[in-house]
Chains A and B, each alone.
Chain A
Amino acid sequence: MTTMSVNVHHVTRVEGHGNIVVDARNGDIKECRFEVVEAPRFFEAFVRGRPYTELNHITSRICGICAVGHSTTSAMATEKALGVELTDQAQLLRKLNFHGEIIDSHVLHAYYLVAPDFFGAGSVIPLIDVNREAVERALRIKKLSGDLCAMIGGRHTHPCALVVGGFTHTPTEDELRAMRERLVAAREDMDASVELFSSLDWPQFERETEYISLTKDDEYAFVGGRIKSSDGFEYPVEDYKKVTNEEMVSFSTAKWTRHNRESYMVGALARFNNNFDQLHPKAKDAAARLGMEPIVTNPFLNTGAQVVEMVHCVEDSIKIIDELLERGVNPEDPAEAEVKAGEGVDSCDVPRGILFHHYAYDDRGFCTDANCIIPTNQNMANLNHDMQELVPQIIDRPQDEVRLTLEMLVRAYDPCISCSTHVLTVEFV
């Protein structure tokens, strides 16, 4: 009989620091978990005591990947608290900006963090030797999505033009037309992406779980909506705590969440499973080519769902630009906020899943209390339950293969455990 101990410290190609621990003797699994070792972010401490105009800019710095997601959700929660109504144009621009970030995040995850595993490459650098065209294509898509975000948010990454009440800057119709042309041209790269990811040999693993996302009556939900569970529940976003039920666990600094089962999953696969009917027809075609039909219960296919969403977001961005041009784009100031005491909750389904921001303000518009629940925390319990079910199925395989499969599982969730500092260490030569 074998004794196996798999310890993967600081799993690479995930955001932040997380460790995989597996301890099995004689086929008896003693320990099997994913632990988070990053210090918690003390998010609330940053925003308490700050004026309402600053919160979305502060929260956009939590993460360099979900900067638009945090900024948008934060502004929406503040707008609820202060009773601010956006114009139709501002709402369309928010959605368009958000699509840019979804594409931006998904293309990086799918191509640069996940694809190397399937080509036997340790990272994207050796992947260049194996499939240079894929690496170049990912960069092209990344440039497009980054430029889309900058056109609306006013800056790459941290959107300075996105404020409570709308935007301080409006793209011109010429800029929108030029972007539309580039999005149309990107269909070819989307098609090649679907082709590439359809050809991958995904690990076979199924586990039924609860999927939680936003939902809307009239569109595939990313920005606002109601909370939907695949187990048949729906809640207004104000009731988010009924869903998240956060609890501390001893070995992880991330709080765990549970709703109707022992765990639930959020992210692209949850959205895909809950809102499949509202995907653009081309995205549904992509799903068919990827062999995905809801309900998909293989968590490794979260990456497949991301590819489907990239196709959807390119098509929906073209549609939104058409709508903006048809209405006529007018420079407009952000809607005025009436400064008053109030409380507001709102939610967006950011690249990694459903995100909640919740604020209370005093009568001068200063934040007195805040809460933020990020998608990665909501996925931690589900990832651990996946591991506990997967490990007995693969425990007889060589240790390296067990290790790689577990790393791939962690990466499939696209976890973002911390926004790191990126301080460089410089060695002079």
Chain B
Amino acid sequence: MNRRRDVLVLGLGNPLRGDDGVGPRVIAELEDHGLPEGIETLDAGTGGLDLLHVMEDHERIVIVDAAEIGKESGQFVRFTPDEVLLVESGGRFSLHHAGLAEILALTRALNRPLPPVVMFGVQPEDIGWGQGLSPKVEAGLPTLIDAVLAEITQ
């Protein structure tokens, strides 16, 4: 039950909040696309601290998430947590729906190393209440998905 599995692709975000749903959407597209053996996908939504245990069970983690990266809407950046400072929006520390920044802070403080994490941060246009991606983020999906596929099959 606790065997470590290969690559986990996590989509984070709330599909009820516009472009915040880009992570779950990419997961749905990857599942439709079909993936090689040893690659697992999870639409983790706003699961918060649950992520910690899910991540610990894998060799390598690829995360797709909406992120304020100062780019044009729909553009994305690949990075590792070590390369950046992650700040949860609002800066509050509420582990009930903890975000990735908080999980990383907690695992560092507990000296409980996570498997290597690569992130694809996607610049949102609109994260107000409403379903569906904005046209710009929608238009950026094919390039994003190609990049995620290249990452997980490397």
A: which residues have CB within 8 A of B?
Answer: 10, 12-15, 17, 39, 41-42, 45-46, 58, 61-65, 67, 104-105, 108-109, 112-113, 123-125, 128, 132, 135-136, 139, 142-143, 146-147, 155-158, 178, 416, 419-429
Q: How far, in whole Å, are A41 and B131 apart by their CA atoms in the complex?
A: 12
Docked-complex contact A428 and B95, CB < 8 angstroms: no
Which residues on A sit within 8 Å (CB–CB) of B90? 10, 17, 420
Which residues on B sit within 8 Å (CB–CB) of A61? 14-16, 45-46
- 17 additional contacts (CB under 8 A) given A104-B50, A142-B53, A427-B84: A46-B129, A65-B48, A105-B96, A142-B49, A146-B54, A155-B43, A156-B42, A156-B44, A419-B46, A421-B13, A422-B46, A423-B89, A424-B67, A424-B68, A424-B99, A426-B85, A427-B85
Which residues on A sit within 8 Å (CB–CB) of B93? 12-13, 123-125
Which residues on B sit within 8 Å (CB–CB) of A420? 46, 89-90, 97
Docked-complex contact A158 and B45, CB < 8 angstroms: yes
Which residues on A sit within 8 Å (CB–CB) of B131? 46
Docked-complex contact A424 and B89, CB < 8 angstroms: yes
Which residues on A sit within 8 Å (CB–CB) of B47? 64, 156-158
Contacts A46-B131, A112-B95, A429-B84 given: A421-B89 contact, CB under 8 Å?
yes
Which residues on B sit within 8 Å (CB–CB) of A142? 49-50, 53
Docked-complex contact B99 and A416, CB < 8 angstroms: no
Q: How far, in whole Å, are A358 and B84 apart by their CA atoms in the complex?
A: 45
| Interface 0/1 of B86-113, CB less than 8 Å to A | 1111101111110111000110011000
Q: Which 6 interchain pairs have the tightest Cβ spacing?
A: A64-B46, A157-B47, A422-B99, A425-B68, A427-B85, A421-B20
13 A/B residue pairs, CB under 8 Å, sorted by A: A64-B45, A104-B50, A112-B49, A112-B96, A125-B106, A128-B110, A135-B110, A155-B43, A157-B47, A419-B97, A422-B88, A424-B67, A425-B68
Docked-complex contact B100 and A424, CB < 8 angstroms: yes
Q: How far, in whole Å, are A46 and B77 apart by their CA atoms in the complex?
A: 31
Q: Which of B1, B12, B42, B66 makes the CB contact (< 8 A) with A155?
A: B42
Docked-complex contact A143 and B53, CB < 8 angstroms: yes
Q: How far, in whole Å, are A62 and B100 apart by their CA atoms in the complex?
A: 19
Q: Which of B14, B54, B77, B83 makes the CB contact (< 8 A) with A421?
A: B14
Interface centre among A61, A422, A429 (most CB of B within 10 A): A422
Q: How far, in whole Å, are A275 and B81 apart by their CA atoms in the complex?
A: 47
Which residues on A sit within 8 Å (CB–CB) of B121? 424, 426
Which residues on B sit within 8 Å (CB–CB) of A421? 13-14, 17, 20, 66, 89, 127
Q: How far, in whole Å, are A424 and B121 apart by their CA atoms in the complex?
A: 8
* Interface status of B69 (Cβ within 8 A of chain A): yes
What DSSP secondary structure best describes chain A's contact surface? Answer: mixed
Which residues on B sit within 8 Å (CB–CB) of A424? 65-68, 86-89, 99-101, 121
CB distance from B150 to the nearest CB of A (A): 21
Docked-complex contact A422 and B92, CB < 8 angstroms: no
Give B53-68 interface residues, CB cut-off 8 Å to A: 53-54, 65-68
Q: From A112, which residue of chain B is reached at the shortest CB distance?
A: B95
Which residues on B sit within 8 Å (CB–CB) of A423? 13, 20, 65-68, 89, 124, 127
CB distance from B70 to the nearest CB of A (A): 8
Contacts A139-B52, A157-B50 given: A125-B88 contact, CB under 8 Å?
no
Docked-complex contact A14 and B94, CB < 8 angstroms: yes
Which residues on A sit within 8 Å (CB–CB) of B85? 426-427, 429
Q: From A109, which residue of chain B is reached at the shortest CB distance?
A: B96
Contacts A61-B45, A64-B97 given: A136-B87 contact, CB under 8 Å?
no
Docked-complex contact A426 and B84, CB < 8 angstroms: yes
Docked-complex contact B94 and A426, CB < 8 angstroms: no
Which residues on A sit within 8 Å (CB–CB) of B95? 108, 112-113, 124
Q: From A116, which residue of chain B is reached at the shortest CB distance?
A: B93
Q: How far, in whole Å, are A411 and B151 apart by their CA atoms in the complex?
A: 42
Which residues on A sit within 8 Å (CB–CB) of B14? 61, 64, 419, 421-422
CB distance from A429 to the nearest CB of B (A): 6
CB distance from A45 to the nearest CB of B (A): 8
Q: How far, in whole Å, are A67 and B44 apart by their CA atoms in the complex?
A: 11
Docked-complex contact A426 and B96, CB < 8 angstroms: no
CB distance from A351 to the nearest CB of B (A): 10
Q: How far, in whole Å, are A64 and B23 apart by their CA atoms in the complex?
A: 15
Q: From A57, which residue of chain B is reached at the shortest CB distance?
A: B15
Docked-complex contact A12 and B92, CB < 8 angstroms: yes
Q: How far, in whole Å, are A46 and B7 apart by their CA atoms in the complex?
A: 34
Which residues on B sit within 8 Å (CB–CB) of A157? 44-48, 50
Contacts A419-B14, A422-B89 given: A42-B106 contact, CB under 8 Å?
no
CB distance from B11 to the nearest CB of A (A): 11
Q: How far, in whole Å, are A61 and B20 apart by their CA atoms in the complex?
A: 12
Docked-complex contact A15 and B53, CB < 8 angstroms: no
Docked-complex contact B67 and A15, CB < 8 angstroms: no
Q: From A418, which residue of chain B is reached at the shortest CB distance?
A: B97
